[in-house]
Homo-oligomer: A and B are copies of this chain.
């Protein structure tokens, strides 16, 4: 193999595929990136056997071929190369990287051990703009469970029916739901591992590109420009999330998101000792937020608009703060039923985002 490209192109493509390289693995070959040079293209491939990424760049291929280099080694080298042309050539079992006055030789990894990415049957297909998909991930991913005891909850549900697409994540304490319109009618349902969504979220650059998504029984494939991401899907039935959303409420308040977020953030300072909770006391047109601990107390007072009665209800502040952070609108609404049943947070202006949070029972 012998190719000529530039530092920047190479670095960009390595930055994409290194997201699937496992940080710890018992299979050393997975620490490598496969480089394939052919027909004016260099293709880089990585996989941790659950998530695989493949991306291509246009390069001068002087001699086609392929090789595997350890991801951290080649990443560190390319980051430190001069901002210039780079030649990569294989020589006597070594890979040689040349640029200006620099010549670096590294040992390749055994290429025949590198696993193939799985083929994905293109049973179901739909398309979605990258900006919309990135936002769907951002507004739900924080609610994905980290708890392997219920593996299904470590993924998010991606569901489309007609011209509506929905992403749902929940962890037993709260649930984030994001709806969007699709341009074309479609019908799909898949549970995507949280890790896959996190890495896709990082790769998506919001260049107003259309993502092509293909779904088979166990795999999902995302095609984003010259990049392909393949992930296994989680098996099993997702929770019937629609059933969890209360159909009515007794109390609804309207308030400013930024002020509420800052108030919860301060109240959280002293929530560590008090059962990790902050108290909402809603009385007339005032929301009082309180926390108590041995170290001190916080009292926040916010003006609200309210319909319905008064209520006292306690929350884990993190569950409120994380949701408020992903809402883009400034005016938000919270609906309460009782202080032991779920509350709903959403933007006043419909943004397709809905968040359900369980209160903490007072002791």
Using CB atoms and an 8 Å cutoff, list the residues of chain A in contact with chain B. 70, 73, 76-77, 80-82, 94, 101-107, 259, 262-263, 265-266, 269-270, 294-302
Contact = CB atoms under 8 A, between A and B. Distances in A.
B263 A300 contact: no
B262 A296 contact: no
Contacts of A295: 70, 73, 106-107
27 contacts: A73-B269, A73-B295, A76-B269, A77-B266, A77-B269, A80-B265, A80-B266, A80-B269, A82-B262, A94-B296, A101-B263, A101-B300, A101-B301, A101-B302, A102-B263, A102-B266, A102-B299, A103-B298, A103-B300, A104-B297, A104-B298, A104-B299, A105-B296, A105-B297, A105-B299, A106-B296, A107-B296
Contacts of A81: 266
A70 B76 CA distance: 42
A116 to B, nearest CB: 26
Given A73-B295, A77-B266, A105-B296, 17 more contacts: A73-B269, A77-B269, A80-B266, A94-B296, A101-B263, A102-B263, A102-B301, A103-B301, A104-B266, A104-B269, A104-B297, A104-B299, A105-B297, A105-B298, A105-B299, A106-B295, A107-B295
A259 B80 CA distance: 11
Contacts of A294: 107
Contacts of A262: 80, 82
A84 to B, nearest CB: 11
A163 to B, nearest CB: 42
A94 B292 CA distance: 13
Given A73-B295, A295-B73, A295-B107, A102 B300 contact: yes
A97 to B, nearest CB: 9
6 nearest interchain CB pairs?
Answer: A106-B296, A101-B301, A103-B299, A105-B297, A80-B266, A104-B298
A28 to B, nearest CB: 13
A73 B76 CA distance: 40
Contact of A296 (B73, B102, B298): B73
Contacts of A77: 266, 269
A155 to B, nearest CB: 34
Nearest to A105: B297
Contacts of A296: 73, 94, 104-107
A105 B295 CA distance: 9
A343 to B, nearest CB: 21
Contacts of A298: 102-105
A300 to B, nearest CB: 6
A302 B300 CA distance: 64
Nearest to A265: B80
Contacts of A101: 259, 263, 300-302
Nearest to A294: B107
A50 B27 CA distance: 51
A80 B291 CA distance: 15
A80 B266 CA distance: 6
Contacts of A104: 266, 269-270, 296-299
A176 B269 CA distance: 44
Contacts of A105: 296-299
